[in-house]
Chains A and B, each alone.
Chain A
Amino acid sequence: MDFRFNEDQLTLAETVRDYLAGTHGPEVLRRLDAEGARDPSIWNGLVEMGLTGLLVPEAQGGLGMGLVEAALIAAECGRACLAEPLVDTAFVGVPWLLGKGETTELARIAAGEVKLPLPHAINPWVADGVGPALTSVDPLRILSEGSGGEDSKLLDLAALMSAAQLVGLADAMLGQAVEYAKIRTQFGQPIGAFQALKHQLASCSVAIEFAKPVVWRAAAAMEDGLASAPGHVSHAKVAATDAAMLTAETAIQVHGAMGYTYEVDLHFWMKRTWALAGAWGSRAFHLKRVDEAVLGGSLAIGPEHTFA
């Protein structure tokens, strides 16, 4: 029993975080917004870092890592508001194919030659697919009409990775609000010195701090193939969505009227949050699955059942 990331996992996450902070900052989001939401040079950078092959077995040219590492990196993608479909292709599509025993495309995915749109009945759209375009509130999401089947493993993987991105998004929005609260002065002092703001931001910290371990627990449950994993994934999606929505609303409030402008960066993260909050199962959908587990009795509950 050791509920911690190991040194290698933390180093990997830090490397990805630094890389994205250096290559995928707000100015890049603005350029993509103006010039087109996908940029092969960004994709190629992710491929060179080995991220498209993170979950691809070494035999097919990947790094052979698991869903816990993938969730950790998905959170970094959320933090950077990454636009490229890395999470869908490499952290959802790849383990889904592996689960079905379909390995023929894996080497090409690892090499960055194939992206995997993921149609599913739960969503009335396909992200990064082909077909008549739909317009998302998130200017960096590319959606098209269409929907797919009801594969439950695909749904669980995608909901898990959405939750992971949401905690990263929440972290980033909290950071932006804090930085703004430090520099904006009113009444002769930084607005961040006022308890009215401090307490709202502290509440975001609490929500994020206690959403993260739920996400990591869900990732481990899926990695270990637990029968209870769907309930854990739904718990993670609800907790991460609630933390991210609270933080988004708090962050815009802290920014005041500036937060309502297109000029301030916050809106990119906020819009991604809105999109992922509803994607791959709404809050109501996932709450119902938690309900089935807890009130329906399929999950043992009580103090002795923290991990069982």
Chain B
Amino acid sequence: MDLNYTPEQIAFRAEVRAWLEVHVPKEPLVTLECREGFDQHVEWERTLANGNWGMVTWPEAYGGRGLDLIQWLIFEEEYFRAGGPNRANQNGIFLLGPTIMEFGTDEQKRRFLTPMAKGEVIWAQAWSEPGAGSDMAAISSKAVRDGDHYVITGQKTWSSRAAFADWGFGIFRTDPESKRHKGLTFILFDMNTPGITRRPIRQLHGDTGFAELFFDEVRVPVENCLAGEGQGWNVAMATAGFERGLMLRSPGRFQATAKRLVELYQKHEAQASPAAREAVLQAWMAAQAYAYNTYGVAAKIMAGGKIGAEASLNKIFWSELDRAMHRTAMQLLGAAAELKRFEDGSINPWLEGYIFSLSGPIYAGSNEVQRNITAERLLGLPRIGAG
């Protein structure tokens, strides 16, 4: 155990900080969940790519810098310190990218990773269906083999970024006789393929970040299948592992929120309750704990380990932490909490953040599902319905 940064790591931090201080937009971007904001965020992805900061851990051959996970954590810490925008391509760089790295052919890596790192192709995910939410193995959208194509028919929903994205990925039932986890295949598709209809879904804040997708005999080349026909469930579980376990929510995000919460508390201290004060301290403690744990996971992976079902613990922890921090902020704001813009015209980030935090315990597998996974796979309790 060595909790000191090397001189190289310290120099790397300084390099990242210097670049971000120059390039991070001074004014916050419009929300990613509308056309204008999406375009602004894509522009930011390209700015990052021009600085070669798109995805620092990827090999140089695929548009990355070939850096290790500690350097990635340093990059993320500095990114959130600088108030960097949300990543428009998080479905790509944090979820699909690592999945292609693990399961893709060389051809697929060449074809998909570099444009992803460079922000040229923005990805949407297409997991859920109307009848397959928490129970993802109930997927019924079909992909039928026809020569060198799959013909996809069905419906996906809650597809993040699908309102505006260029490409999508999801799992489809390729074996019509199959049930549950078997007979599923992981397929990548161009969102502009004939037969795909996207219907943006208006979210509770009024904007449209996700969409329904309708597939009507959509022809997708067979080479867009990842890891072979019938392997979809295993590949999807690996993707979910990246999502829950490490990449999607790096600790810097929560440490930055905790710091802002401390500042908010200090501004409202005269009216704040002792309970709010304790909640603020709890926020800092939990965000730090999450950071320590992530450094431990990173060290484990760098030594050749893997993320298993413990990814579920992570997802429960950060999503409930995020909600608690924003709830505390809303309490501190009191009557001003409901204002979308404060009296000085600035956006109320805590209201936006609170609404977004409510989705955390739902997306990437609801926390109820994560607690089932924890209980069954980590603790070894019997599966539901076992006699």
Q: Give A residues with C-beta under 8 Å from B.
A: 1-6, 9, 68, 174, 178, 181-182, 188-190, 192-193, 195, 197-199, 201-203, 205-206, 209-211, 213-214, 216-217, 220-221, 224, 235, 238-239, 287, 290-291, 294-295, 301-307
Contacts of B312 in A (CB 8 A): 202
Say which residue of A190, A211, A303 sits within 8 Å of B80 (CB atoms): A303
Known: A4-B303, A209-B310, A235-B288. A301 touches B4 (CB 8 A): no
Measured CA separation A307–B296 after assembly (Å):
13
B293 beta carbon closer than 8 Å to chain A: yes
Contact between chains at B387 and A189 (CB < 8 Å):
yes
| Pair B1/A4 contact, Cβ less than 8 Å | yes
Whole-angstrom distance between the alpha carbons of A217 and B299 in the complex?
Answer: 14
Contact A193 B382 (CB under 8 A): yes
**A302 vs B258: C-alpha distance when bound (angstroms):** 7
Q: Which single member of A3, A195, A304 contacts B81 (CB below 8 Å)?
A: A304
Indicate if B379 sits at the interface (CB-CB under 8 A).
yes
- A192 and B76 alpha carbons, distance in the complex (Å): 39
Residue contact A198 to B281, C-beta cutoff 8 Å: no
Judge whether B386 and A199 touch: CB under 8 Å: no
User: Of A178, A213, A214, A303, which is within 8 A of B380 by CB?
Assistant: A178
Q: CA of A5 to CA of B265 in the docked complex: distance in angstroms?
A: 37
Contacts of A307 in B (CB 8 A): 3-5, 295
List, in ascending order, chain B residues with CB within 8 A of A1's CB: 2-6, 9, 70, 295, 299
Map CB proximity to A onto B193-208 as digits: 1 under 8 Å, 0 otherwise.
0000000000000000
User: Main secondary structure on chain B at its contact with chain A?
Assistant: helix
Across the interface, which residues of B come within 8 angstroms of A5, CB to CB?
A: 1
5 A-B contacts, Cβ less than 8 Å apart? A4-B303, A216-B1, A217-B3, A295-B277, A304-B81
What separation, in Å, do the CA atoms of A64 and B107 have in the docked complex?
A: 54
Bound-state CA distance A301–B254 (Å) is: 12
- With a CB–CB cut-off of 8 A, which chain B residues contact A238? 285
A304–B287 CA distance with the chains assembled, in angstroms: 12
Contacts of A188 in B (CB 8 A): 387
Q: How far is the CA of A217 from the CA of B278 in the complex (A)?
A: 22
How far is the CB of A33 from the nearest CB of chain B, in Å?
Answer: 29
B→A interface (CB under 8 Å): 1-6, 9, 13, 17, 70, 73, 76-78, 80-81, 251-253, 255-256, 258-259, 262, 265-266, 277-278, 280-281, 284-286, 288-293, 295-296, 298-300, 303, 310, 312-313, 316-317, 368, 370-372, 374-376, 378-387
Q: List residues of chain A with CB within 8 A of the CB of B385.
A: 189, 193
Distance of B298 from chain A, by nearest CB (Å): 8
Task: Taking A302-B256, A306-B288 as given, write out 4 further A-B residue pairs in contact, using a Cβ cutoff of 8 Å, ordered by the A residue number.
Answer: A1-B2, A203-B371, A213-B296, A303-B251
Output the least CB separation between A111 and chain B (Å).
29
- What B residues does A193 contact at CB under 8 A? 381-386
In the bound complex, do residue A239 and residue B285 qualify as a contact, i.e. CB atoms below 8 Å apart?
yes
Evaluate contact between B281 and A287: CB separation under 8 angstroms: yes
**Which listed residue (A4, A220, A304) contacts B299, Cβ 8 A?**
A4
A4 to B1, CA, bound (A): 5
Residue ID in chain B nearest A175 by CB atoms: B379
Determine the distance from Cα of A213 to Cα of B293 in the docked complex, in whole angstroms.
Answer: 6
A12 to chain B, nearest CB (A): 13
Known A-B contacts A195-B384, A217-B3, A295-B262; the reply to A210 vs B375 at CB < 8 A is: no
- Using known A-B contacts A301-B284, A307-B5, determine if residue A178 contacts B383 with beta carbons closer than 8 Å: no
CB B179 to nearest CB in A, in angstroms, measures 22
Interface-central residue, B6, B76, B374, by most chain A CB under 10 Å: B374
B6 surroundings in chain A (CB, below 8 A): 1
Q: Which residues of B contact A206 (CB under 8 A)?
A: 313, 316-317, 374
**In the complex, what residues of A have CB within 8 A of residue B3's CB?**
1, 3, 217, 220-221, 224, 307
